[in-house]
Amino acid sequence: MLILIWLRGLLARRTGTLAAAAAGIALAVVLPALLGAFLSAAKATMTTRSIQRVPVDWQVERQPGQSLSVPMPGTSREVSFARIDGFESRRQGQTLTTGAGQVLGLPGDYAATFPGEMRLLAGQSTGPLLAQQTAANLHAAPGATITVRRPGLPDAPVTVTGVVELPAADSLFQRVGAPPGGQPQAPPDNVLLLPEADWHRLFDGIPRDRVRTQFHVRIGHRLPPDPAAAYTAVTGQARNLEERMAGTGLVGDNLGAALDAARADALYSQVLFLFLGAPAVVLAALLAALVTRAGTPRRATQQALLRARGASRGALVRLALAETVLVGVAGVLAGLGSAALAGRALFGSADVSWWAAVLGLLVAGVTVLLPALRATTVAAGRRPVGGPRRSHAWLRYGLDLWLLAGSAVIFWITSRNGYQLVLVPEGLPQLSVDYWAFAGPTLLWTGAGLLVWRLTRTVPLTWAVRPLTGGLASTVSAMLTRQRAPLARAATLAALAVMFAISTSVFDTTYRQQAQVDAELTNGADVTVSHTTATQGQLASVPGVARAEPLQHRFAYVGSDLQDLYGIRPTTTQLHDTYVSGGTAREILDRLARRPDALLVSQETVTDFQLRLGDQVRLRAEDGTTVPFHYAGIITEFPTAPRDSFLVANAAYLARHMPADTTYLITTDGTPPHQVAAELRGRLGPTVKITDVETTRQVIGSSLTAVDLSGLTAIELGYALVLAALATGLLLVLGFAERRRTYALAGVLGATPRQLGSFVWAEVALVGVVAAALGALCGWALSRMLVAVLSGVFDPPPDGLAVPWPYLGVLAVLGAVALLAAGAATVLAARRPPLTVLRDL
C-alpha cells in the first residue's frame, strides 16, 4: 500500500522530473537499439549484395581424364574452354591479328541462366559472340568474319553475330584449384563465345591439353543474413561436394570468395558501430544521470521526512526500487518503441536489439536507484551550508590535462608508425584493426569533457556575466558561484553533445566525399571513353557533357621496368594535392608546364633508380625508340593509373616523340553519368570502351567504401541534434526548477523581475557560450584525429576535412532555440507570486 501511495504521489507531484528521467533512459536505449538494427541490416545487405554480384556461384572443373558421376546441386550448365593460338581479321585490305585467346562453348540458355556473366553491346545474343576488347583489337563488328587459329587443326572462319562485355571475366577465367594466396590469373584479352554445338564441331579434334570442361552452378540462396555464417554454410557445401567427387573435380567457390570479403565488411561496420556510436550512448547515460540528479535534494528531504516519521530503511529501499522500476520500464518501452519506428522508416524493419533494454535498466539502476538509496537516512536530508571545502581529486591532480597529453602521445605514436585501420595493398582490401589506436580519440573525448568542467568551475564569473547584468554583476556572480556544480554539469554535457555532433558529421561528410573521389580516381572522371576515333569536339557536343579532357596513354620502359605512361595538358588538368608529393598539385603541374620534356614519376621509381630533381630519364618505347625526359616531381595517384609505378608527361611532347592512344575524361553537366555513358554508347558503337563513375563505384565497392553509412549517420546526426537540445535546454530547465525557492526568496526580499531575469539569462548565456566555443574547438580537434586514425578508409586521403555547414547551422539554431526556450520559461515562472511558490514547496 505504501508503495502505491508513494508512486501516486510521485506521478502527481514530480511528473516532470520522472518524465525527464524516463526520457534520458529512453535516449540511452534508442541509440544502441537502432545501432544494433543498423548492424543487422548492414550485414544482411552485405550478404545480399555479395550474392547478387556473383553471376556463377561455383565453377566445378572436371579433372583431365576423369568423369563426374556426382550430380551437380542447384542449377548447373556445362561450359567448354579451348585455348587457341589467336584470331585474325581482314578489313579494307588490312590484316589484323591477335595473340593467344580462349573460345568458350556455351549452352543456348546460358545467358538467361547466368544473366550477370555477359552483357550484349551490339548485334544478336545468339550465335558467335566476340568480347568487346577482342572486337576492338580486330576492328570487328556484327556481321564480320574472323579466322580462328586452331592448334593442330586448320584455321576456321567464324561469322560474328554480336559483341558482348564480360563483367565477371576475372572469375570466369580463373585457375580453379589454385593455391590460396597465389597470384591471380589475369583474364585473356581475346575471347570468342560459341554455341555448344559449334564449339564441339570446331574443337573436338584439338589436343586435349588445350581443352577443359566446367560445370557452372547456381546453388540455393537461402543463407543466413550474417555474411560470416553465410560464408561458413557455402564453403561447407563446396567442401562436401569436393569430398563426394573424390578427386574427379575441383570447386571454384566464387560465392564463398565474395562472402569472405563481406565478412571484412561486417567487421568494419562493427568497428564503426563501436567507434562512432559509443560516445552517444555514454552521453545519453550521463544525461539520464544528470536529469535524475536534479531532483536529488528534494528526494532526500522527502525520504528523510518519511524516515523521521518511522519508515524503516527497508521500506525506503522498496520505494526506491519501485521508483526505479517505474522510470526504467517507462524509459525502456519508450526507447524501444521509438527505435522500432525509426528502424522501420530507415531500414524497413522494426527488428531492434533487445539487449538495449538490459542497458536501459542498468542505466536506470545507476542513475535512479543508487541516488535514491543514498537518500534513505535523516542526515541525507540536511541542506548543506556552503560548498565543499576541497575540490575533487581529479581537479587537484589535473586528470583532464593528463588525459589530453596521453591522447596526443598515443596519436603521435600511431601516426608515426603509419598505422591504418584499413590496408589496401595493390588494390586488394584487407582489414587490420588495432584497437590501441582508438585510445587516442577516446582519451581526447574524455579529457575534453573534464577540461570543460574545469574551465566552467574556474572561470571568473563577474567578468563573464557583466555584459548582461551590468551593476548586478557581483550579485549574479555570487549566486552563480553557489551554483557552479549544476552549471558545470549542464555546460559540460552540452559541450560534449556539440563535440559529438561536429565530429560525427565531419567524419561522415569526409567519408562520403572520399568514397566519390576514390571512384573518380579509378574511373578517371564522371565518364571515361577509350579506344575511339571520335574527336574532343564531337564528344563535347553530346548532351550532358560539360567538358572532355584528352589523356594519352601508352607503355614505356624505365630500365627493364615496363610502366604506364600518361600524357596530359598541365594547364587544364586538375589534380588533388594528395595526388602529388613535394608541393601542391598546382606547383607540380606548373613544373610540368614550364619544361616540355618534364616527367613526373612515382616514389617507387625515384627510390629504385636513385633519381634527383633534374636528372635525365631515358624512356624506351616498346618498338625500341628511346626518348629523353627530365625528372620534375613525384606523383602518387593519377586517374585511371595503376596503384604501383607509372609516369606522367606533357601530352604535346609525348605526341611528337611517342604517339599514344587517346582516352577522354568527361565531366558531366549534372546529368547522371550512367545516362551520359548510355548516350555515348549509342553514338560511338560497341567497339568503344565507355565506363562511368556510378558503375565503377559499385564494382570497386570493397569492404571499405561499400558500407552504406547513410542509415547510421542519419541516426547519429539526428540523435546528436536531440541530445544537444536536451543537454542545453532540459538541464537548464531542471536546474532552474530546483532553484525556485531561491528565486522566490529573492522576490520576497525585493528583487525586481528584471533582476531575476538577469540571473536566468546570465546562466543561459554562460552555458551557451561554453558549449559553442569549447564544444566546437574540441569537436574540430576530434574530427581531425578521427579522420587521421581512420585514414586507411580514404584512398587517397582527403586534402582536408569536409565540413557540413548546413547541418552545423541547424545544430547552432536548435541549440540557441533550446537555450532561449529554457530561459524564457524560467523567467516566466520566476514572475509567479513568491508566497505561492514557497507554499507549493
7: confidence class by pLDDT, cuts 50, 70, 90 = confident
The β-bridge partners of 695 are none
SS3 64: coil
Query: Per this entry, what is the length of the chain?
Result: 841
The arithmetic mean of pLDDT across residues 571-594, rounded, is 86
- C-alpha distance from residue 386 to each of 301, 357, 390, 487, 741 (Å): 18, 40, 12, 16, 17
Question: Between β-strands 646-650 and 561-568, what pairing exists: parallel, antiparallel or unpaired?
Answer: parallel
* Residues 517, 800: Cα–Cα separation, whole Å: 13
* Three state DSSP letters for 769-823: HHHHHHHHHHHHHHHHHHHHHCHHHCCCCCCCCCCCHHHHHHHHHHHHHHHHHHH
Reading the block at residue 741, the C-alpha cell is: 525557492
Helix (H) or strand (E) holding 733, with range, is helix 731-738
126: confidence class by pLDDT, cuts 50, 70, 90 = confident
Please report the pLDDT score of residue 184 as a whole number. 54
Q: Which residues contact 199 (CB under 8 A, 6 or more apart)?
A: 80, 82, 103, 104, 105, 106
SS3 86: strand
Question: pLDDT tens for residues 313-335?
Answer: 777 777 778 878 888 888 888 88
Task: Yes or no: say if 480 and 465 are a contact pair by the CB < 8 Å rule.
Answer: yes
Query: Domain locations in the chain?
Result: 23-59+224-383, 75-218, 461-521+709-841, 525-692
pLDDT: is 785 or 349 the higher one? 785
* Residues 58, 114: Cα–Cα separation, whole Å: 12
The long-range contacts involving 406-409, CB below 8 angstroms and separated by at least 24 positions, are 406/439, 406/443, 406/447, 407/439, 407/440, 407/441, 407/442, 407/443, 407/444, 407/447, 407/785, 408/440
DSSP assignment string, 172-214: HT--TTPPTTPPPPPPPS-EEEEEHHHHHHHHTTS-GGGEEEE
CA-wise closest residue to 342 among 780, 3, 19, 35: 35
Sheet order of strands, 86-91 included: 94-97, 86-91, 145-149, 156-159
Asked if residue 462 has pLDDT above 80, the reply is no
Asked if residue 702 has pLDDT above 70, the reply is no
CA-wise closest residue to 657 among 618, 690, 696: 618
The arithmetic mean of pLDDT across residues 78-88, rounded, is 92
The arithmetic mean of pLDDT across residues 559-586, rounded, is 84
Maximum average pLDDT range among 1-5, 385-389, 431-435, 745-749: 1-5
Q: Where are the beta strands (DSSP E) in 426-526?
A: 430-431
* Residues 205, 298: Cα–Cα separation, whole Å: 97
Please give the DSSP secondary-structure letter assigned to residue 141: -
Asked if residue 566 has pLDDT above 80, the reply is yes
Reading the block at residue 631, the C-alpha cell is: 625528372
Does the predicted model carry a pTM greater than 0.85?
Answer: no
Buried b (16+ CB within 10 A) or exposed e, 10-37: beeebeebbbbbbbbbbbbbbbbbbbbb
Q: Where are the beta strands (DSSP E) in 27-128?
A: 58-62, 75-84, 86-91, 94-97, 101-106, 119-123
Asked if residue 308 has pLDDT above 60, the reply is yes
CA-wise closest residue to 279 among 604, 504, 581, 583: 504
- Average pLDDT for the chain: 79
Asked if residue 10 has pLDDT above 90, the reply is no
The arithmetic mean of pLDDT across residues 277-291, rounded, is 77
For the ranges 379-383, 421-425, 450-454, the lowest mean pLDDT is seen at: 421-425
Helices (H), 54-159: 110-113, 132-138
* Residues 216, 237: Cα–Cα separation, whole Å: 15
405: confidence class by pLDDT, cuts 50, 70, 90 = very high
* Residues 442, 337: Cα–Cα separation, whole Å: 30
Question: pLDDT tens for residues 606-659?
Answer: 888 889 999 999 998 867 789 999 999 999 888 877 666 789 999 999 988 888
Please report the pLDDT score of residue 564 as a whole number. 84
